[in-house]
Chains A and B, each alone.
Chain A
Amino acid sequence: MSPSPSSLSRRTFLAATGAVGAAVLTACSDLTPGVSASGNNSASPASTAVPADTKITLVVADADDTTMTPGLIAAFRAKHPNISVKRQYTGWDDYLKSINTTMSADSAPDIAQFTSGMQNLVPGRLLLKVGEYGKAYGWAEKFPGLDQITLTPDGKTVGTGDLYGVGGGLSFEGVYYNKAKAGKLGLTVPPATLEDLEALFAKAKAAGETALVAGNLDGGLNHPFNVLLSAYLTPKDREAWAYGHKGATIVLPEAEKAAETLKRWVDKGYVTPKVNGVSDNDATAAFAKGEGVFRISGNWAAAAVAKGLGEGAGYFNMPPVVSGGKVRTTGAGVYYCVSSKSKNTAAAAAFLDFAASAQAAAITAKAGFMAPDAGAMPSQSGLLGDVQAGWQTVVKDAGLQPFIQNASTPTMGDTLTTQLQLLAGGKVTVEKFLSGLQTDFENYHK
């Protein structure tokens, strides 16, 4: 070790360090950051008028790695020459980590992509209530799924309260299948009921195929589980829990049926073997390379599947429990919200409204999302066309339901992954699995 300096000077030195530290600490009045709930975040007065003569700069923060957000920004700028829009893109993980601090800063962006975890910004009054703009623009008719960004003042419950944004591009889940293999095995698609779907799985398995390609290393079994819940639960129960309504429960006979179905699919060998060791992305890649027959995933996987299987890729909506029932499925969206610190709320609201336009629909569809205006999406052929037709049915049936892990509690994503791995690994019963989810829910909604 290096020779130490004389003990006295070292002491002085350390003492000085301590003194400097203490001085800086006491000088810093902002030791416990955070904002009091005294700010004003109501938009008033609201109109659809956008100032056209003054130069305005809007800052948009997002983690959207598709071409949608940059495309919308470019088109919006072309439409409003006096408004320049600056994009602050951050990768998804870093965005989740930093967005709450970013929105608390004085230099907060005017518009931000809403993600789970940001509900904490609501009690801090850092998000603008855009309901008044919504009334002026008529957003209730233009955007599906606005309830997913309607929150109570404490930010803990979704679906009731004030509107905080709009959904630009939406995503939803359904069933992809390999047309060549389905034809060879004589499988009739689309199945009319969930039971029929399971019969197809059994047939594929009997022929030595992986029936349902899945990966649960990072919790990818939540996709089948979410759509099974959509099918089995009543929309009321389903939404009450997913939106974190106080007193809601997932320990229901219908939820047990959904979890039992998923467990049976694993136990009977329909699902990819050793599913806990496969990541969700690798499962999509394997399916696109021709492995297995079916895959339950979202429209975000359509591009990869179409690229891999070409003409051999097919899609149908998740079948209902009873033949002829309404289509219900799980989905989310890229939601844009406005900072309560923004000085250009009228321009920001105009941007939000622009996301519902027919022009935006083309941009959104090109990026692989479903547009709020389902009818205005340019028609596509092949797999993307099938997915789009599926989306139009979902919108018609008003069947878009939230992912249970997004808004129920901030920790539900991790809890659901953990519990699904335990369920697929045969470490817990269906009852323990559901009560594990319920425990997380009750810890948060005390």
Chain B
Amino acid sequence: MTTADRLTGAPAPAPGAPPPAKRAAGSTVPRHGRTPPSDRRRRRRRAVALLYLLPALLPYTLFAVLPMLHTAYLSLFDWDGVTLPSFTGLGNYRRIVTDPQLRAAAWHAGALILFFSVLPICVGLVSAAIVSRRAGRRGTALVRTVLFLPQVIPLVAVGILWRWVYADDGTLNQALRAVGLGGLADAWLGSFTWALPAVGLIGTWVVSGLCMVLFLSGTQRIDQEIYEAARMDGAGPVREFTAITVPLLRPEFAVALSITVIAALSSFDLVYITTGGGPGNSTVVPGILIYRLAFGGGAVGVASALAVVLTAVISLAVLVINRLSREAP
């Protein structure tokens, strides 16, 4: 059920008015056979609950929900950001679906899912398995810290750092030349072939640590007795990993996948700092286009429409991920 379904599912009660026959409108069936509390007590409990939620709800509504609705509203206008906007209906959306540059951006965002989600989850899973098996031994705390470190560095700093790594005389090419592979050296971020994978691998580097920590906390939840039982049956580390760790980490998979897919689809900072969408248009992503349209191009309406579409796509992706992960294995 989507939020919209829930919203329309129950009519908004007029403030102050006595609540209408709730039992009929709602779907509450007395739970666990207990007698339901009296109406007054329930009403009071709800009021108290709302009161507790208010400090979070109010800023969230003011600074997240309303601006989002406002963006959706602005997407229906042709607006340069300064003078009076003119209503265009769905014109901005029509422009989006026909723009070839946007189609390229969508492909790039899709490719980034490989680097922001698939690779980090694989790396995180393997490193979590190794670290958890060696828990308590010397050095594991250090390994954990080092792998998580990219997560705490601001993305802008990460971008600048990797620009040096990928430069023509940067560390990567120096390493290649040192081992006699100088022929492979390239100015990675300026290459039409390699710029997108290069930017993507920065994402892998950043997100892998987060995935590892997620999976580590998951493995700690798994009962050690299951592992012991498996070992008694003669399972080695690899078998343990594939037969126990991976299937039991399902909830962590869902969380990791959601976070990383959002990061991939809404990526902006890394691309902006490292390539700015270039060379040519080879690393342009939707986030870059939104920025260009709104702040440089004076096309706030189109930028808003693009932002709305991007938000919808991301929400849909997360919804699908959560649906799939809830099903029984």
A152 on the B face (CB < 8 A): no
With contact pairs A100-B82, A282-B167 given, residues A21 and B298 touching in the complex (Cβ less than 8 Å): no
* In contact, A217 and B275 (Cβ under 8 angstroms): yes
1/0 per position for B52-88, CB-CB distance to A under 8 A?
Answer: 0100010001100110011001100101111111000
* Chain A interfacial residues counted at CB < 8 A: 61
A29 to chain B, nearest CB (A): 13
Q: Which residues of B contact A284 (CB under 8 A)?
A: none
Contact A278 B187 (CB under 8 A): yes
Q: Is the CB–CB distance between B296 and A411 below 8 Å?
A: yes
Instruction: Choose the segment among A117-125, A134-142, A236-244, A334-342 that binds chain B (4+ C-beta atoms closer than 8 Å).
Output: A117-125
Does A411 contact B10, Cβ atoms closer than 8 Å?
no
B89 at the interface (CB under 8 A from A): no
Out of B65, B82, B278, name the residue touching A276 (CB < 8 Å). Answer: B278
Task: Find chain B residues with CB under 8 A from A427 CB.
Answer: 192, 280
Q: Does A398 contact B (CB under 8 A)?
A: no
Instruction: Please name all residues of chain B whose beta carbon is closer than 8 Å to the beta carbon of A17 when the two chains form the complex.
Output: 57, 61, 65
Question: Once bound together, how far apart are the Cα atoms of A20 and B54, in whole Å?
Answer: 12
Q: Are A277 and B79 neighbours in the complex by a CB distance under 8 Å?
A: no
Contacts of B187 in A (CB 8 A): 273-278
Contact A7–B292 (Cβ < 8 Å): no
Bound CA span A17–B65, Å: 9
A36 at the interface (CB under 8 A from B): yes
On chain B, the residues within 8 Å of A425 by CB distance are 190, 192, 279-280
Among candidates A21, A124, A279, residue contacting B66 with C-beta atoms closer than 8 Å = A21
Question: Are A6 and B69 in touch, CB under 8 angstroms?
Answer: no
Is there a chain A Cβ closer than 8 Å to B238's Cβ? Answer: no
What CA separation (Å) do A6 and B31 show in the bound complex? 10
For the complex, give the distance between the alpha carbons of A169 and B84 in Å: 33
Asked if B178 lies at the interface with its beta carbon under 8 angstroms from chain A, I say no
> Inside 8 A of A12's CB, which chain B residues have their CB?
10, 13, 46
Which partner residue on chain A sits nearest B276 by CB separation? A218
Are A276 and B279 in contact, CB atoms less than 8 angstroms apart?
A: yes
- The answer to whether B296 and A277 touch across the interface, beta carbons within 8 angstroms, is no
What's the dominant secondary structure at chain A's contact region? helix
CB distance from A26 to the nearest CB of B (A): 11
Flag if B278 contacts A421 (CB, 8 Å): yes
Can you list, as one digit per residue, whether each of A25-53 has a CB less than 8 Å from chain B (1) or not (0)?
10000011011110000000000000000
In the complex, B221 has a CB within 8 A of chain A:
no
**CB nearest to A279 among chain B residues:** B163
**Chain B residues in 8 Å Cβ range of A117:** 295-296, 298
Chain A CB within 8 A of B138 CB: no
**Stretch touching chain A among B1-9, B202-210, B226-234, B309-317:** B1-9
> Is B80 touching A21 in the complex (CB atoms < 8 A)?
no
Contact of B82 among A21, A32, A35, A274 (CB under 8 A): A35
Nearest residue in B to A10 (C-beta to C-beta)?
B6
**Among candidates A1, A31, A37, A417, residue contacting B73 with C-beta atoms closer than 8 Å:** A31
Q: Given the known A-B contacts A11-B9, A96-B295, are A32 and B279 also in contact in the complex, defined by CB atoms under 8 Å?
A: no
Query: Which chain A residues border B50 with CB–CB below 8 Å?
Result: 13, 16
Interface presence of A253 (CB below 8 A) = no
- B22 near A8 with CB under 8 A, answer yes
Note all chain A residues with C-beta closer than 8 A to B62: 24
- In the complex where A21-B69, A274-B190, A277-B191 touch, is A9 in contact with B49 (Cβ < 8 A)? yes
Contact A15 B84 (CB under 8 A): no
Which residues of chain B come closer than 8 Å to A278, judged between CB atoms? 167-168, 187, 190
Which residues does chain A contribute within 8 Å of B190, judged by CB atoms? 216-217, 274-278, 421, 425
B84 and A35 contacting across the interface, CB-CB below 8 Å:
yes
Q: A216: which B residues are within 8 A, CB to CB?
A: 190, 279
User: B280 touching A7 by the CB < 8 A rule?
Assistant: no
Given contacts A6-B28, A282-B167, A427-B192, contact A21 B280 (CB under 8 A): no
Please list 14 pairs of residues, one from A and one from B, whose beta carbons are closer than 8 Å in the complex, sorted by A's number.
Answer: A21-B61, A24-B62, A35-B82, A37-B83, A97-B295, A120-B80, A216-B279, A276-B191, A277-B186, A278-B187, A417-B276, A421-B279, A421-B280, A425-B280
**Shortest 10 CB-CB distances between A and B: which pairs?**
A277-B187, A277-B190, A276-B190, A274-B187, A421-B279, A11-B10, A8-B26, A15-B12, A120-B82, A124-B82
Task: Tell me the B residues contacting A by CB distance below 8 Å.
Answer: 3, 6-7, 9-13, 22, 26-28, 45-46, 49-50, 53, 57, 61-62, 65-66, 69-70, 73-74, 77, 79-85, 163, 166-168, 186-192, 251, 275-281, 292, 295-298
